[in-house]
Amino acid sequence: MIKIREQKTKTRELESTLIYLLLQLILIGSLSSCRNSSSPSTHFEETEGILTIKNPSDPLHPSLALLFKEELSIGVVEGDENYMLGWHILLNIDNQGNFYIGDVERAQINKYDPQGNFLFTIGRRGQGPGEFQAISKIGFDEKDNLYVFDVKSQKISLFNPAGELIKEIKIFQFLEELTLNPHGYYLARKVDNIKLEASKKWDYTYGFFDQNFNFLHEILRLPQEVTPATTPYHLMADTLSKIAFQPQVSYDFDQEGNLYFGYPQTYEIKKYSPQGELIQIIQRRYQSQKVTNRDKKYFQQIQTTRMSNKFPPNQASKIFKLVKFPQFKPAYESFKVMDNGWLFVIVSSGPSEEKIIDLFDKEGIYIGQFKSKIPTEGLMFKGAKAYAVATIDGYKFVKRYQYSRLKR
């Protein structure tokens, strides 16, 4: 009797153990399915600490869209010069909602309050302290001080919110597209591997630099080559061929200082830590779009306007006969990181005012696609608002927009 009871006890223990293991397997399976339930064909792969999110061609929420409504405009066609914006302007917004509008031609920055009222001007053309020769970037450090990168002078000028010069930092190497992240690291492009032969060859290298501009991590290397041009027309045509529906580097920082970086030969955006370590890769399946004759005419129209001060219209037509267009468009044009960590990807723009926009959530999951007429020049998101530079009848205006989610 005792042996029979012992056997029954052991049988119950074994059954309990099997039931426990079965429940654990069910729980693990449910957690895994929850993670992959974002979309039937969204896949997550992790290799050496780098998470790759492989998204399908269709978004998780096909009806999701963002609706933008203009609430403020800065700029006039005639009148007060403080509100007449130049053709080439840079835009940034501080944490209080003040506008900083850099005028590249005038080599100065105007500050406006959140209501769009002009406050004061920072800098002027020159080579002295607080003066600029070629402004190429304006941004803010962790204390909300304005920094201005002058690519020609190779210096960074730091101003307090009152517009007073704090200090200047000289860069003893040639860097371009320099941006400061909230942790004191720089993202920039340098030129190296130069070869001067029958044709000129070099590499554009994007990477992270420390506070002393020591090179830390390489992100992307783009080989370049220029053959001697026979005429000014050929030189300009070669320049235009390099930007005509060609992939262009795009990057932005989130509020934690993480870098999102993309080169749209394929639909892929990489996420780096503030120190420059690759931590995530976001991908989406897509269908390549052909460059149409309508696209080419639109490109010619835009570039003819920009070249008007260099070439008259009759000469511009000769240049465009020499421009080489690719067969397909890039996977996307550019992107921005929103306040909530979402990725706002401009997939395509063209002759119509509407742009195709892709949305990815903070986890990198493809959640929506919609069309929008919001301008994409200088586009940025801050304080639950969107800001952009609009071109209307050849004049520039800075716009602020409210936006909300819309389910169609």
- 126-168, pLDDT tens digit by residue? 999 999 999 999 999 999 999 999 999 999 999 999 999 999 9
Q: What is the mean pLDDT of residues 43-57?
A: 96
What is the per-residue pLDDT for 325? 92
The mean pLDDT value of the chain amounts to 88
Residue range 220-248: average pLDDT?
86
Q: Is 92's pLDDT higher than 90?
A: yes
Portion of the chain with pLDDT greater than 70, in percent:
87
Q: Each residue of 24-34: b (16+ CB within 10 Å) or e?
A: eeeeeeeeeee
What pLDDT, on the 0 to 100 scale, is given for residue 12? 52
**Mean pLDDT of the 195-200 span:** 78
pLDDT bucket at 300, cuts 50 / 70 / 90: confident
pLDDT at 3 > cutoff 50: no
Average pLDDT (301-317) is 73
Fold of 38-407: Neuraminidase (2.120.10)
Q: Distance between CA atoms of 321 and 327, rounded to whole angstroms? A: 16
Is residue 11 pLDDT above 60, yes or no? no
Q: pLDDT confidence of 348, banded at 50, 70, 90? A: confident
Is the pLDDT assigned to residue 304 strictly greater than 90?
no
pLDDT bracket for residue 220 (50, 70, 90):
very high
pLDDT band at 314 (very low <50, low <70, confident <90, very high): confident
Whether residue 349 has pLDDT greater than 90: no
- The more confidently predicted of residues 235 and 170 is 170
Domain boundaries, given as residue ranges, for the chain: 1-37, 38-407
Cα dihedral: 123, 125, 130, 133 (round 10): 120
pLDDT tier at 408, thresholds 50, 70, 90 = low
At residue 28 the predicted structure's pLDDT band, cuts being 50, 70 and 90, is very low
Which of these, 304, 356, 368, lies nearest to 330 by C-alpha position?
A: 356
pLDDT at position 351 over 70: no
Which is higher by pLDDT, 37 or 88?
88
User: Tens digit of pLDDT for each residue in 352-362?
Assistant: 678 999 999 99
> What digits encode the pLDDT tens for the residues 97-135?
999 999 999 999 999 999 999 999 999 999 999 999 999
For the segment 250-260, the average pLDDT, to the nearest whole number, is: 95
Q: Kindly report which listed range (168-172, 314-318, 361-365) carries the lowest average pLDDT score.
A: 314-318
Least confident of 99-103, 144-148, 177-181, 346-350: 346-350
**Mean pLDDT computed over 305-325:** 77
Strand-strand pairing, 64-74 and 50-55? unpaired
Which tokens in the block code for residue 247? Answer: 């992939």
Band of the pLDDT at 310, cuts 50, 70, 90?
low
Task: Categorize the per-residue pLDDT at 70 as very low, low, confident or very high, splitting at 50, 70 and 90.
Answer: very high
Percent of the chain with pLDDT over 90: 70
User: Bigger pLDDT: 217 or 315?
Assistant: 217
Q: How far apart are CA 18 and CA 13, in angstroms?
A: 9
Whether pLDDT at 17 is above 80: no
Mean pLDDT of 398-405: 96
